[in-house]
Amino acid sequence: MATAPPFQLVARMPSTTRLALHVFLRTSHAGMPNIVLTEQELDELAAYIVSLGPSDK
């Protein structure tokens, strides 16, 4: 099974935006549990992960 990438690593990927995280977290991915979140939780989690990356997005 693939290893879960640390949030810091995900945050540094150029493709990681709040919108991309919203889409990702609403779909199924191999090796990752299906996490069911409310709209507000998704917003907060996506903002948190993006905040770990470079400040230009």
How long a stretch of residues is the chain?
Answer: 57
Q: Which two tokens stand for residue 20?
A: 């991309």
Task: Please say which residue, 21 or 53, places its beta carbon nearer to ligand HEM.
Answer: 21
Least separation in angstroms between residue 40's CB and ligand HEM is 14
d(CA 13, CA 27): 19
Least separation in angstroms between residue 42's CB and ligand HEM is 9
Least separation in angstroms between residue 2's CB and ligand HEM is 4
Contact criterion met (CB below 8 Å) for 54 and 15: no
Task: Please say which residue, 4 or 47, places its beta carbon nearer to ligand HEM.
Answer: 4
